[in-house]
Amino acid sequence: MPESPTRVLSKARAVLDCFLPDNRPMTLTEVANATGLPLTTAQRLLRSLVAEEFVARTETGYRLGLGLIGWASAARRGLTVVDAARVGMDALRDATGEAVTLLVREGLQRICVAASPSRHVISQRSEPGEVARLQAGSPSKVLLAWDPETTQSVLARGLVPLASNTITDPEQLVRELAEVREVGYATSCNENAEGVASIGVPVFDGAGRVIAALCLGGPASRVTPQWLAAHRDEVLALARQVSRGMGWSGTVSATVRVPSAR
């Protein structure tokens, strides 16, 4: 019996997914192993995808073809970071039970542009349009870590205490931002608001620039360091998904420089 079109399409999608995120050339055997498809099936699908220019042959194997560019460009046209994040934010909120927010930088402030609020009675409450000082908390550290010029402006403005653990020493903040860049995320507890803990992860655009911070957080009584560690990979995975939706290829802008405390 012939395969249903849906099953064929699903297998073709699996082949295309093999090349994400960096479009590294792969041999037929590598594609078959990555998808779990029989070698003959993988070969047949690759032949069809090459004919449609969705996959291209190279000297060392296969890679995604130029035929996908028009579709990708059309899909991203008019797509905002909120559009790209919305469904995943709700899913992460449902999986963890805590609030998920998306924040962007505006001058020396951070603005919440989307929120999936927790359903707990006692929870972190952030609403779209809410503005906060760009200085403390995991989303602020994410927005600053890859933006040396804004970091210098924040340091020049002065670091004021906002809660019991707010970093007010410029050198300490610079060291912490360096660590954020190294590990790829930030955590905080009692930094921007008393009794609130969170993890923030950067969202990149097609040029490798940080355009938003994805944040998962709640009351420190529930959102402990152990809890944050247990859910870290879920937040990172969603941020990568949103970044890919914004055209990110997996590399960071080469314009990023290390800020200093001076």
pLDDT score recorded for residue 2: 64
Q: Name the pTM for this structure.
A: 0.68
pLDDT of residue 131: 82
Radius of gyration of the chain (CA): 21
Pick 164 or 259 by higher pLDDT.
Answer: 164
pLDDT for position 251: 64
DSSP for residue 136: S
Residues 223 and 133: their CA atoms lie apart, in Å, by 22
In this prediction, residue 83 carries a pLDDT of 84
pLDDT tens-digit readout, 147-188: 999 999 999 999 999 999 999 999 999 999 999 999 999 999
Q: What amino acid occupies position 175? A: R
Question: Each residue of 14-59: pLDDT tens digit?
Answer: 999 888 767 789 999 999 999 999 999 999 999 999 998 899 998 8
Q: What confidence tens digit (pLDDT) does each residue in 98-135 have?
A: 999 999 998 888 988 889 988 877 666 777 878 888 99
74: which 2 tokens? 């059309």
- Contacts of 38 by beta carbon, 8 Å cutoff, 6+ apart: 32
Tokens of 194: 């008393």
User: Rounded CA gap, 148 and 168, in Å?
Assistant: 17
User: Is pLDDT of 256 > 50?
Assistant: no
Q: The tokens 């035929």 sit on which residue?
A: 67
- Provide the 10 A C-beta neighbour count for residue 68: 19
% the chain with pLDDT above 90: 58
Confidence of residue 6 (pLDDT cuts 50, 70, 90): confident
pLDDT digits (tens, 9 = 90+) for 48-90: 999 988 999 988 899 988 888 767 666 555 558 888 898 899 9
- Taking each helix axis from N to C end, the angle separating 5-17 and 39-51, rounded to the nearest 10 degrees, works out to 90
3-state secondary structure of 96: helix
List pLDDT tens digits, range 206-217: 888 899 999 999
Q: For residues 104 and 111, is the Cβ–Cβ distance under 8 A?
A: yes
**Whether residue 236 has pLDDT greater than 70:** yes
3-class SS of residue 194: coil
